[in-house]
């Protein structure tokens, strides 16, 4: 299951400022020595891995990025200002690849990690630096070093933030189809989904998030029953789980049983999986039989936040989305 986000951008470090040619001009000192300052260093291009970003979508628009040039040196030995660095925040796990050769430059694998891709040009030395016993009045200074331009391919293997789990036939694939552009097969029999599929879910503001539709889990999954452990392993990396439950079944006790079965499997496989934040979602509320069952389920778990939806008609999906956004802590960037 590969799902790769990519973008190609051009980045440029800052030019070094040029060195200055200047001589002291003071009253009563007719021939002052050289006092031209050095140019400032150009800004570096720095990539920084941050945990708040999940996709590369911002780089679909921002394709040319540049650090600031260094200031030129000035008289009275004043050094030019250093050019501001360009710090580019990218999601943790982004690969930096040379777009021309295809070579991997760097894998930014941990949050907070920084990598200087291109150093800014050095500032040129001012003429004050070139004063010697034989040349007391040098009339030259160095130019600043030129910056460099790189074409970089950013590549990110998307990891799901949200895992959608539940018994076979609960409607997991229907749900991911309703909220993303993923189109897994949907059918009214168990084990329709054999491999997970990922969908990117765009919000009206801020970062999109990624959900994975996981094949149905059954009792004994932790020991390899059904499609088993492979997929439990996959959801270990997600941040939250949507626990989807079919409430259209005729037996009103079935949803609670389903809920307990899945949670037991999570726990038996790995306790940390059982401790992951879970949004309990009752699906198929469009069905006649569901109303009583929904009440029954809710009263059995009075302390839980339970959301009722119809993945088929879309009812309740907006409030599910905002609940997910809240839990993931996605910030509103629209203001």
Ligand X SMILES: Nc1nc2c(ncn2[C@@H]2O[C@H](COP(=O)(O)OP(=O)(O)OP(=O)(O)O)[C@@H](O)[C@H]2O)c(=O)[nH]1
Q: Does 186 bind ligand X (CB under 6 A)?
A: yes
Which residue in 43, 284, 297, 320 binds ligand X (CB under 6 A)? 284
**Other CB atoms within 10 Å distance of the CB of residue 278:** 21
Q: Does 190 bind ligand X (CB under 6 A)?
A: yes
Separation CA 184–CA 172 (nearest Å): 10
Query: Site mask, ligand X, residues 208-247, x = CB under 6 A?
Result: -------xx-------------------------------
Residue 157 beta carbon to ligand X: minimum distance, rounded to whole angstroms: 23
Sheet holding 104-108, edge to edge: 64-66, 4-12, 149-157, 94-98, 104-108
Query: Site mask, ligand X, residues 241-280, x = CB under 6 A?
Result: ----------------------------------------
Binding positions for ligand X, 312-331, rule CB under 6 A:
312
**Which of these ranges, 1-9, 74-82, 218-226, 284-292, lies near ligand X under the rule CB under 6 A?**
284-292
DSSP-assigned letters across all residues of 142-158: PPPPP--EEEEEEEEE-
Pairing of strands 86-91, 45-50: parallel
Residue 185 beta carbon to Mg ion: minimum distance, rounded to whole angstroms: 7
Separation CA 35–CA 187 (nearest Å): 81
CB nearer ligand X, residue 78 or residue 298: 298
- Listed residue (291, 286, 276) closest to 327, CA to CA: 276
Q: Does 116 bind ligand X (CB under 6 A)?
A: no
- DSSP letter, residue 223: G
Query: Residue 284's binding partner, choosing from ligand X, Mg ion, none, with beta-carbon cut-off 5 to 8 A by kind?
Result: ligand X
Query: Site mask, Mg ion, residues 33-72, x = CB under 5 A?
Result: ----------------------------------------
Separation CA 40–CA 143 (nearest Å): 11
- Closest-by-Cβ residue to ligand X is 216
Q: Are 201 and 208 in contact (CB under 8 A)?
A: yes
CB nearer ligand X, residue 188 or residue 302: 188
Environment class of residue 239 by beta-carbon count within 10 Å: exposed (0-12), middle (13-18) or buried (19+)?
middle
Which residue in 4, 191, 225, 332 binds ligand X (CB under 6 A)? 191
CB nearer ligand X, residue 141 or residue 212: 212
How many Cα neighbours within 13 Å face the side chain of 160? 28
Separation CA 261–CA 170 (nearest Å): 13
Helices (H), 244-333: 254-269, 271-274, 290-300, 317-328
Q: Are 286 and 273 in contact (CB under 8 A)?
A: no
Separation CA 161–CA 181 (nearest Å): 16
Residue 306 beta carbon to ligand X: minimum distance, rounded to whole angstroms: 15
Total number of residues that touch ligand X (CB under 6 A): 24
Which residue in 34, 171, 226, 228 binds ligand X (CB under 6 A)? 171
Structure tokens at 79: 């050094």
Which residue in 3, 57, 148, 192 binds Mg ion (CB under 5 A)? 192
**Which of these ranges, 18-26, 36-44, 153-161, 170-178, lies near Mg ion under the rule CB under 5 A?**
170-178
Which residue in 193, 197, 278, 290 binds Mg ion (CB under 5 A)? 193
Which residue in 94, 142, 147, 173 binds Mg ion (CB under 5 A)? 173
The residues of the shown chain that bind ligand X, judged by CB under 6 A, are 166, 168-174, 186-188, 190-193, 215-216, 283-284, 286-287, 310-312
Q: Which residues bind Mg ion (CB under 5 A)?
A: 173, 192-193
């Amino acid at each position: 299951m590969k799902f790769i986000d990519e973008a190609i951008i051009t980045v440029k470090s800052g030019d070094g400022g040029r060195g200055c040619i200047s001589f002291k001009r003071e009253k009563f000192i007719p021939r002052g020595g050289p006092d031209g300052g050095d140019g400032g260093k150009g800004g570096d291009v720095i990539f920084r891995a941050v945990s708040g970003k999940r996709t590369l979508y911002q780089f679909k628009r921002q394709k040319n990025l540049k650090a600031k040039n260094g200031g030129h040196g000035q008289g009275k030995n004043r050094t030019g200002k250093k050019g501001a660095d360009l710090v580019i925040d990218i999601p943790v796990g982004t690969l930096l690849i040379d777009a021309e050769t295809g070579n991997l430059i760097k894998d930014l694998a941990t949050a907070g990690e920084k990598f200087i891709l291109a150093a800014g040009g050095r500032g040129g030395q001012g003429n004050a630096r070139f004063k010697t016993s034989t040349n007391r009045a040098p009339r030259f200074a160095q130019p600043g070093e030129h910056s460099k331009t790189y074409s970089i391919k950013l590549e990110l293997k998307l990891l799901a933030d949200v895992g959608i789990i539940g018994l076979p036939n609960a409607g997991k694939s229907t749900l991911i189809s309703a909220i993303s552009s993923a189109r897994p097969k949907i059918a009214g029999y168990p084990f329709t989904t054999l491999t997970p599929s990922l969908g990117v879910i765009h919000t009206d503001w801020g970062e999109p998030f990624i959900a994975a539709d996981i094949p149905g889990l059954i009792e004994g999954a932790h020991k390899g029953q059904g499609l088993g452990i492979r997929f439990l392993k996959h959801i270990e990396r997600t941040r939250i789980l949507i626990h989807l439950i079919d409430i259209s079944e005729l037996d009103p006790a079935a949803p609670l049983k389903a809920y307990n079965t899945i949670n037991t499997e999570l726990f038996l496989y790995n306790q940390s999986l059982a401790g992951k934040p879970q949004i309990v979602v009752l699906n198929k509320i469009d069905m006649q039989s569901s109303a009583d069952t929904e009440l029954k389920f809710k009263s059995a778990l009075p302390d839980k936040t339970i959301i009722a939806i119809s993945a088929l008609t879309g009812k309740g999906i907006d409030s599910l989305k905002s609940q997910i956004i809240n839990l993931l802590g996605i910030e509103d960037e629209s203001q």
